[in-house]
Amino acid sequence: MLRSLFLLAFLGAWLCMEAQPPSRLTTDLLEHTDRLFLDGYPTGVQPAESGTFVERYQLAEVRNPRPFLGWVVNSRQPNTLQTAYRIMLATSPRMLDDGTPDMWDSGRTESDNSVAVPYAGKPLQPATVYYWKVKTWDNHGVESGFSAIRSFATAAQLDGATARYPLQVSDEYPVSIRSLGDGRSFVDFGKDAFGRLKLTLSSANDTDTVTVHLGEAAKEGRIDPAPGGTIRYAVYRLPLMAGTHTYTVKIRPDKRNTEAAAILMPAYTGEALPFRYCEIEGYRPALKPVDVVRQAVHYPFNETAALFHSSDSVLNQVWELCKYSVKATSFAGTYVDGDRERIPYEADALINQLCHYAVDREYAMARHSHEYLILHPTWPAEWIMQSVLMAWADYLYTGNPASLQRFYEDLKAKALSPLKEPNGLVSTRTGKQTPALLQSIHYRGKELRDIVDWPQSGILGLEKSSPGEADGFVFTDYNTVVNAYHYEALRLLSLIAGVLGNTQDEASYSEEAGRTRERINRLLLDKKSGIYRDGIDTDHSALHAAMFPVAFGIAPDKNIKRLCAFMRSRGLACSVYGSQFLLEAVYNAHDAAYGLALLSSTGERSWYNMLRAGSTISMEAWDNKYKPNQDWNHAWGSAPANIIPRKLMGIEPLEPGFRKIRIKPQPDTLSHATIKTPSIRGDIHVSFTQRQGEIFTLETDIPANAVAEVWLPRLSAKYHLTIDGIPCKSTVNGDFVVTEAGSGKHRFVIERPQ
C-alpha cells in the first residue's frame, strides 16, 4: 500500500515536471500562417505546395523582413515563468529535424519574452517559405521539448506592412424553410450575415424563372420589402436551365458603398450583401436545407475562443449578440462603419478593436485597420486622437512594439497639439488649422470639427432642436470632450515614448498631460455643482462632458460621486458609440450597479432592444427612429463584447502582452458568472459565485509566463481571505482587497468573519 502511494506521488510529481512544448506559434501576430484558402474556403494545402496548382489560393504573407515571433508557454506546474528560449528557423523542415537550421539558431537565450521576439537571423527573402520551432526553459528548471514546426511564407515585397489573413467563406444552411403556398418559400438562416446565395434547383425546361428576395428584416412572417434606413432588401431574377443545377446569385454592387473611400470586396469572394431571410418565388418543388446555401464572408474567426455565461439571461443574450457582431462585420477584412458606406472610421475601429481582442485571439486585423486610419483619417478631431488610443491598445494586448516604432511620428501629430491656445486648451475653431497641421495627420479634407457624438441633434420624427445623441451638447470654442481626448492622447504618448526609449519625449508629454488635466479641471469643472460644463462660455452640462473626463481619469477623486450621480440622471443619453465611454466611466468609478443596469436593460435604448427589433448584429443606433438612415450591421454598437470581459469580469492587461493581468470583477447582484477570454499568452478563465455581503469565491486559470493582480470585493472592514485554502497577504484599496497570484488554477475565497 505504501509503495503504491509512493509511486502515485512520484508519478504526480513527474507529470508536473514533465515539459510541455510551446504551442500556438505566431509570426507577426498571425497564428495560422500555414493555412491556405481556395477562393475563401480553407484547404489542407501547405504554403510550399501552392505554386504547383492551377487554382487561386490565398494565404497570409508576412511582409516584415524582421518579423516578430511568439508562442504560448505550457506548464502543468503553477507559478511558471519562462526564463529562456531557443528558436530555430530554416528553409526546410528537414533542417529543423536535423538541428541544422540555415537561417537562424538563437541558441539558449535568457529571456522571459514569449510574445514578440524579433527575428535576428540571416535576411529573409521575398516569396519564400520558412519553417521554425521553439523550445523554452522555466523557473522550475524544466526544459521543454521543441514545439511543432510552423511555416510561413513571405510576400513578394517585404515592405514592413502588417500582414493579415484572407477572407473566409463559410457555407451556412437555413434553420427553417416554410412554404408560403403558390410556389413561394420563406427561408430563415437564423442570423444576419454578409454573403452570397447558392441555390440547387430543378426545371423541366429552359423557360422557367424564379425570383429571389433577400433581406435583413421580416414583417408578418415575410421579408420586409421596405425596411427603411439602410436595412437591406434586394430582388434578383434567376433563369433556370433544364435539369438540376446549382446557381450562384450574383450580388449587385451598391453605388454608395463602393465609392473611392470604401473598402472593396476582393475578387475571390465577390460582392456580398447582408441578409438573414430569403424568399424564393415561382418554384413549386419542396426545398431542402442543402438546396439553399448562404456563402457567408468573414475574417477567419474561432467561435470557441471566448465564452461567457452568467445568472442574468438578458446579459447572456447581449453578450452573444455583440460577440457575433464582431465576426459578422469582419466581412471586409478591415474594420468599416457598416454596410451603408463600408468606410473605416476611427470611432468604429477603436470599439471593434477592443471587442475583437476580447472574443478571438486575433490581432492583425485590428493593427491593419488602425494603421490604415493613421494614413486615411476622418474629419472629427476626437477621432483623429483615437489613433493614439488604438496604438496603445495594440501594444498592451500584443506586447509587440513594431507598429509604435513605425508610426511614432504620425502618432505624435495625432495629439493635435498645434491647436492649443494660451489658456492651455485645444480648439478647432480659433484659426489654427494650418495646411501643415492637416498634412502632418494625413488629412485630405478642408478642416477638422468636434463631433462629441453622432447624430449631434435631431432624430426621425422630431425637430432639429431635439438634443439628439449628444444630449444637447453646447459647442463652444473650447469644448470639454475634445480636450479630454487631448489629455488622454498626451498621457499615452508619454507611455509610448517610454516604450521606445525616448526619455525626453516621455517627460515632455507627461508634463503636458498634467498641465492639460489641470486646465480642464480649472476652466471646465463647475466648482459649485462639481460637474463639468460642455465648454467655456456655457453653463450647459451634457452627459458627455462628464463621462469622458471620468473615463480618462481626469476628474478629481472628490468629484467622482457627484459625477456618477449626474451620469445616472442622464441615462443612456448618448449613442451606441458613446456607450463605450459611458460604460468605461461607470466601471472606472466602481458604479457596478449602474453598469449592470445599463448592460442588462430592456428599455428602448438598450442592446436587448436591438434583438427585440429583429436584428442579430449590433445596430448603428438604439432604434430605427434615432437614426433615419441607420443600418443593422454596425460593430460600433457592440461595446458589451469588450466591456463584459474588461470591466464587469475585470480582465485587462496591466503590462504589455498580458505579462501581468489584472482581474477585478465588479458583479453587483450577479450570483455567478464564468468567462473564457483569449490573450496573446493563452486563454484566461475566470468564474465567480457569491452570496452578497457574505462570501465571494473567485476561480481563475492564468496562462503560464504571466502573473495576476487580483481584486476582490471587500465585504466588511474585517475579512478573511484564502488562496487555494491558505490564508494570504492582501492590501485594501477602497472597496476592494488586492492580492497577487502566479499562473495556473487558483481559488480565492473572501468572506465576512462569523
Q: What is the pLDDT of residue 17?
A: 54
Q: What is the pLDDT of residue 53?
A: 75
Q: What is the pLDDT of residue 54?
A: 76
Give the residue among 130, 162, 163, 159 at the shortest CA–CA distance from 60: 163
Helices then strands, each counted (H, E), the chain? 17, 34
pLDDT range class, residue 3, cuts 50, 70, 90: low
> For the segment 454-471, what is each residue's pLDDT rounded down to a tens digit?
988 655 434 455 667 999
What is residue 645's DSSP assignment? I
> Which of the residue ranges 45-49, 490-494, 620-624 would you say has the lowest mean pLDDT?
45-49
User: CB-hemisphere CA count at 13 Å for 230?
Assistant: 22
Q: Pairing mode, if any, of strands 209-215 and 736-741?
A: unpaired
The CA distances from residue 287 to 233, 270, 292, 521, in Å, are 22, 26, 8, 66
Say whether pTM exceeds 0.85: yes
Q: What is the pLDDT averaged over residues 711-723? A: 95
Q: What is the pLDDT of residue 458?
A: 55
126 CB burial (10 A radius; 0-12, 13-18, 19+): middle
Q: What is the pLDDT of residue 162?
A: 97
Share of the chain above pLDDT 70, in %: 96
pLDDT range class, residue 45, cuts 50, 70, 90: confident
Q: What is the pLDDT of residue 737?
A: 97
Judge whether 380 and 449 are in contact, CB under 8 Å: yes
> For the segment 77-110, what is each residue's pLDDT rounded down to a tens digit?
999 999 999 999 999 999 999 999 999 999 999 9
Residue 226 has pLDDT above 60, yes or no: yes
Cα–Cα distance for residue pair 532/669, rounded to 1 Å: 30
> For the segment 610-636, what is each residue's pLDDT rounded down to a tens digit?
999 999 999 999 998 888 889 999 999
Residue 337 has pLDDT above 90, yes or no: yes
Bridge partners, residue 134, by sequence? 87
Cα–Cα distance for residue pair 711/733, rounded to 1 Å: 9
DSSP string of 462-475, one letter each residue: S-TTS-GGGTT---
> For the segment 280-305, what is each residue's pLDDT rounded down to a tens digit?
999 999 999 999 999 999 999 999 99
Domains defined for the chain, CATH in brackets: 19-154 (2.60.40.10), 168-298 (2.60.120.260), 307-648 (1.50.10.10), 656-751 (2.60.420.10)
Q: What is the pLDDT of residue 703?
A: 98
> For the segment 553-606, what is each residue's pLDDT rounded down to a tens digit?
999 999 999 999 999 999 999 999 999 999 999 999 999 999 999 999 999 999
Q: Pairing mode, if any, of strands 651-653 and 233-239?
A: unpaired
> For the segment 4-39, what is each residue's pLDDT rounded down to a tens digit?
444 444 444 444 456 799 999 999 999 999 999 999
Q: What is the pLDDT of residue 644?
A: 98
Residue 260 has pLDDT above 50, yes or no: yes
Cα–Cα distance for residue pair 481/527, rounded to 1 Å: 18
